[in-house]
Structure 1
Amino acid sequence: MSLADWRSSWKYPTVILCVYGFFCSTRPSEPYLTPYLVGPDKNLTLEEVNNQMFPVWTYSYLVLLFPVFLATDYLHYKPLVVLQGIAFIVTYLLLLFAQGIMAMQAVEFAFGLSSATEVAYYSYIYSVVPSTKYQLVTGQCRSATLIGYTAGSVIGQILVSAAGVSYFVLNIISMTCVSIAFLTSWLLPTPQHSMFFHRDLTANIVEKKMSNGQASIDNDIHSPKNTCPSNLSVDVSDIPNEFEPAEFVELPLNPLPGSAVVSPMVVFLQLWRDFLNCYTNKSLLLWSVWWALATCGYLQVTNYVQTLWTTVEANATVYNGGVEAISTLTAATSAFAVGYINVDWAVWGEVALGAFSTLDAAILIVMALAENIWVCYGLYILFKGSYMFLITISTFMIAKTLTLERYALVFGVNTFMALALQTVLTAIVVDSRGLGLDVLTQFLIYGGYFGFISLVYILKGACTLQRHCCQRSSEREMDDAIVHHVDHAPL
């Protein structure tokens, strides 16, 4: 394959995106953010970091998520990937050279922007890769970020423990890595179409049609009803209403000219209709609610766990980087293991959600009460592995019934709801304008929060199991009746 052919294939943007994701995630200073802030470099107090600085990330992430989600699609993905690189650079410039609590709040706003623009990174690939490669490429991109984060944590731990490198130097290394990622983002090709605003006229949705009990589809994508005029006009009533996933015609890798911009009103109406269709499905709603609730708690824990570690053992040798690396690998292993567990999650999933949420509640309460840093480290690794195990199951159960557009919508809504809940929790429990509680009390509350989740899902799981057992019992009785009828039937 020549260089020109390779650059025009799906492999080129995949490689660039993986390189970008690796360097964006390789940030050796991240596990040591709190020690850096409360140390001589920034000289902030734990209360300022915990109650005034960190909440800004939650608020900015929530406010920016929805407009960034729309801008990502409207601007063809690449500008938002570049913007993420800029946001990372601004974050580390401020961390390195700015002083004072207001400057550190600006750090959290910039980091909130980088978090919100992450949607561009994970959705970009679907616009330049054929659908048959979605699973492969998604795994490669996520693996790249995972490897980058693990590498950054390991490098940070080695430099701190073995070489005695300062946290300031770690931030310089992180700044270098995200700058490389920013330069790499410019090499990405700009997609010619997107999921919502920029439709490719050569790619048309082929809806399922039921006729004589058989599913049939219209393969003639060039028929008059599928031809769009130059001034695109879309009838909202033509948007599919069914919850069943629509089938798609394979997109050509290099789409033909003829992309048309869909009006924002049509896009919003389509999103609203898809939203109603998706969330009226009780099973999807149940898994989505847990997804949002648990992600809210997980983000709170990971956001404030460094503050907890610093509180428990302020003068100890810091092994945050090693713990983050081990916890990430443990989480990846637990998520990978889901694919090899043969369980009917439609029956046992709710019980599993409730049981593991109970475990998470106990972990967080013990972490708040423990006075040993190694206990806190070990429990955090267990907590992260438990969450990743369950979120993988939840993601699979939600995604298996969705088309690509609805996948983006549902997980966007779930993330927004998680951030909205996190914002409420942060404003009440953490923010100095709210209760402004210390971090130990916060973790007790987070433990109670997961305890509430476990109670709800254990009760719901018990109902599901009872209904399943009754159904199996009825089926056995029916089978026995049929056998009895056949045995006593006259010859």
Structure 2
Amino acid sequence: MSAPWLYPTVLLCIYGFFSSLRPSEPFLTAFLMGPDKNLTEREVVNEIYPIWTYSYLILLFPVFLATDYLRYKPVLIIQAASYVITYAMLVKAQGVLAMQLLEFFYGVATATEIAYYSYIYSVVEPASYQKVTGFCRSVTLLGSAVGSLIGQILVSVSHVPLVNLSIITLSSSCLAFLAPWFLPMPSKSLFFHQSESVPQDKTAQELPDKSEDGEHKVPLDANEDTTIFKEKRGGTGGLVEVLKALGADFMKCYSCRTLLAWSVWWALSTCGYFQVINYAQALWEKIQSSKEFDIYNGYVETISTLLGALAAFSVGLVKVPWAVWGELALCIFSIVIAVAVYVMDTVRNIWVCYASYVIFRATYMLLITIATYQIAANLNMERYALVFGVNTFVALVLQTLLTVIVVDSAGLGLDIFPQFLIYGSYFAAIAVIFLIAWLYKVATRSSADAAGVQSESAENETDSSSGETPIPKESSII
């Protein structure tokens, strides 16, 4: 008999692969500014691309509520449909307004990613979290790598028109659209759909799980009306009550120190990651112009994504006590990312820049997969969408601020090289934050251990003075 996690995981992997297979993506700007769309640089950069950022940010919270209300699966179908609409418009639509509408639908698709990364935790057991996290994230990276490779080969070797890459991307999105329909429907969600009988939650209350470092996971108290709204013969909690529960659960979730650490890294680093990948091609163009030299951006994207997929897959196979070494690991890997960005900025050699970009992306993909698993491991699975929605929202807010201050002409409007110097400094600051967090954790544990030893010594002295022979512990007997 097959494992219960296998069927939904395979379907999600199929969906993730084909929805991420986009040969047109490395050449999107060239396509929009080429003869097919005939748009100017100002229209593409200043009028069309910003719509994605704004729509993503605005839609994220409503999509989160819809994800919970509809119980994940319908939102996955909406995401798949949004990809189809996006690339159909990319092939057929013309003009600035049409491309802005395209960016809006792409914003819908990216905002609904929360359903993809939270669905699996609603249908599999916690013991399988690490395994399915590695599978789902690595297969999406694999799809992206294959798409980039196909695009580069078709352009460099076969010299196909760029519109053909968009047609291939649309075909892949249509294939992906089929998979979510066959996924099993989760029986309940966090706020809107809760059954009257929740024996598994009661068991969890009586025997609370613990995380790797002995700390309790974020509990799910089925008796708290502010947290759970049970269905009353098909009824659901009202919006006001749901918003109150969101606030209550937000406080509970982020009171867990381990979860808070990984969430802070998630939000801070994702902001910087988006900025680097958004402007990496502009940096490469500055170092070596595509008008004078052959460029290999597609190959670089392929290699970096494949290494990221390999790193993500390895997370499901390697056992590391992240609860003990988590903050230190985040510090060390953030230093690696910061150095990679600094090298991209300061060494004006295209091959060194390419290599640093590969290291940057692979390291981030490794850590974000670990963060995904660690957050899920320290949560009741029904709170997963809430935490990841908040983390993504914070990352988007920070990204918007960083863009306005550093990139936009209304702010500093810096050249590309000073921009990357700031991004490298940004990741260095993240490393310092988690170094401090790790030192604080070590000092706190040392103080707690010392206090425990003193307490045990005092108890032994009391037992000796009373004439009683202390009973040895099992470990000392062994």
Common topology (TM > 0.5):
yes
Question: Does the C-alpha gap of structure 1 residues 371 and 53 become closer, same or farther in structure 2, counting only changes over 3 Å?
Answer: farther
Question: Does the C-alpha gap of structure 1 residues 391 and 171 become closer, same or farther in structure 2, counting only changes over 3 Å?
Answer: same
- The equivalent of 2:177 in structure 1 is 182
Q: Is the 8 A contact 1:65 1:116 kept in 2?
A: yes
Question: Does the C-alpha gap of structure 1 residues 55 and 71 become closer, same or farther in structure 2, counting only changes over 3 Å?
Answer: same
How far is the alpha carbon of 1:28 from its aligned partner? 1.0
TM-score under structure 2 length normalisation: 0.79
Question: Does the C-alpha gap of structure 1 residues 452 and 122 become closer, same or farther in structure 2, counting only changes over 3 Å?
Answer: closer
Question: Does the C-alpha gap of structure 1 residues 14 and 473 become closer, same or farther in structure 2, counting only changes over 3 Å?
Answer: closer
Select between 186-195 and 104-113 the one with higher mean Cα deviation: 186-195
How far is the alpha carbon of 1:376 from its aligned partner? 1.9
- The equivalent of 1:225 in structure 2 is none
Which of the numbers 151, 158, 167 marks the counterpart of 2:162?
Answer: 167
Question: Does the C-alpha gap of structure 1 residues 484 and 327 become closer, same or farther in structure 2, counting only changes over 3 Å?
Answer: farther
Q: Is the 8 A contact 1:58 1:422 kept in 2?
A: no
Supply the distance in 1 between the matched residues of 2:322 and 2:124 (Cα, whole angstroms).
31
Instruction: Map Cα deviations across residues 357-384 of structure 1 (whole Å, 9 max, x no partner).
Output: 2332222232133433222211111001
The number of residue pairs the alignment matches comes to 449
- The equivalent of 2:219 in structure 1 is 245
Question: Does the C-alpha gap of structure 1 residues 139 and 334 become closer, same or farther in structure 2, counting only changes over 3 Å?
Answer: closer
Supply the distance in 2 between the matched residues of 1:187 and 1:436 (Cα, whole angstroms).
48
> Is 1:425 equivalent to 2:402 in the alignment?
yes
How far is the alpha carbon of 1:404 from its aligned partner? 0.8
- The equivalent of 2:257 in structure 1 is 282
- The equivalent of 1:234 in structure 2 is none
> Is 1:409 equivalent to 2:409 in the alignment?
no
Supply the distance in 2 between the matched residues of 1:159 and 1:345 (Cα, whole angstroms).
42
What are the equivalent positions in structure 2 for 1:94-133 lying under 5 Å apart?
A: 94-127=89-122
Supply the distance in 2 between the matched residues of 1:410 and 1:189 (Cα, whole angstroms).
23
Question: Does the C-alpha gap of structure 1 residues 216 and 398 become closer, same or farther in structure 2, counting only changes over 3 Å?
Answer: closer
What are the equivalent positions in structure 2 for 1:322-401 lying under 5 Å apart?
A: 322-338=299-315, 344-401=321-378
> Is 1:66 equivalent to 2:61 in the alignment?
yes
How far is the alpha carbon of 1:30 from its aligned partner? 1.2
How far is the alpha carbon of 1:167 from its aligned partner? 2.1
Supply the distance in 1 between the matched residues of 2:28 and 2:320 (Cα, whole angstroms).
40
How far is the alpha carbon of 1:311 from its aligned partner? 3.1
> Is 1:299 equivalent to 2:274 in the alignment?
yes
TM-score under structure 1 length normalisation: 0.78
Supply the distance in 1 between the matched residues of 2:103 and 2:422 (Cα, whole angstroms).
23
> Is 1:157 equivalent to 2:152 in the alignment?
yes
- The equivalent of 2:475 in structure 1 is none
Question: Does the C-alpha gap of structure 1 residues 480 and 103 become closer, same or farther in structure 2, counting only changes over 3 Å?
Answer: same
Q: Is the 8 A contact 1:51 1:432 kept in 2?
A: no
- The equivalent of 1:253 in structure 2 is none
How far is the alpha carbon of 1:42 from its aligned partner? 4.0
Matching residue's letter, 2:330: L
Supply the distance in 1 between the matched residues of 2:129 and 2:78 (Cα, whole angstroms).
24
- The equivalent of 2:228 in structure 1 is none
- The equivalent of 1:446 in structure 2 is 423
Q: Is the 8 A contact 1:37 1:43 kept in 2?
A: yes
Q: Is the 8 A contact 2:133 2:369 kept in 1?
A: no
Question: Does the C-alpha gap of structure 1 residues 191 and 290 become closer, same or farther in structure 2, counting only changes over 3 Å?
Answer: closer
- The equivalent of 1:86 in structure 2 is 81
Any idea what SS the aligned residue of 2:295 has? coil
- The equivalent of 1:318 in structure 2 is 295
Which of the numbers 283, 302, 305 marks the counterpart of 1:308?
Answer: 283
Question: Does the C-alpha gap of structure 1 residues 314 and 97 become closer, same or farther in structure 2, counting only changes over 3 Å?
Answer: farther
Question: Does the C-alpha gap of structure 1 residues 389 and 473 become closer, same or farther in structure 2, counting only changes over 3 Å?
Answer: farther
Question: Does the C-alpha gap of structure 1 residues 138 and 393 become closer, same or farther in structure 2, counting only changes over 3 Å?
Answer: closer
Q: Is the 8 A contact 2:37 2:94 kept in 1?
A: yes
- The equivalent of 2:241 in structure 1 is 266
Supply the distance in 2 between the matched residues of 1:169 and 1:289 (Cα, whole angstroms).
41
Question: Does the C-alpha gap of structure 1 residues 374 and 258 become closer, same or farther in structure 2, counting only changes over 3 Å?
Answer: farther
Instruction: Map Cα deviations across residues 265-319 of structure 1 (whole Å, 9 max, x no partner).
Output: 3332322211111222334323321211011111222222233323332323232
Matching residue's letter, 1:22: F
Supply the distance in 2 between the matched residues of 1:450 and 1:69 (Cα, whole angstroms).
28
Question: Does the C-alpha gap of structure 1 residues 302 and 179 become closer, same or farther in structure 2, counting only changes over 3 Å?
Answer: same
> Gaps (5+ residues) in structure 2?
209-215, 223-231, 470-478
Any idea what SS the aligned residue of 1:207 has? helix
CA RMSD of aligned residues (A): 3.9
> Is 1:146 equivalent to 2:141 in the alignment?
yes
% identical aligned pairs: 51
Instruction: Map Cα deviations across residues 405-455 of structure 1 (whole Å, 9 max, x no partner).
Output: 222221221111111111211222233444443433322221222122222
- The equivalent of 1:30 in structure 2 is 25
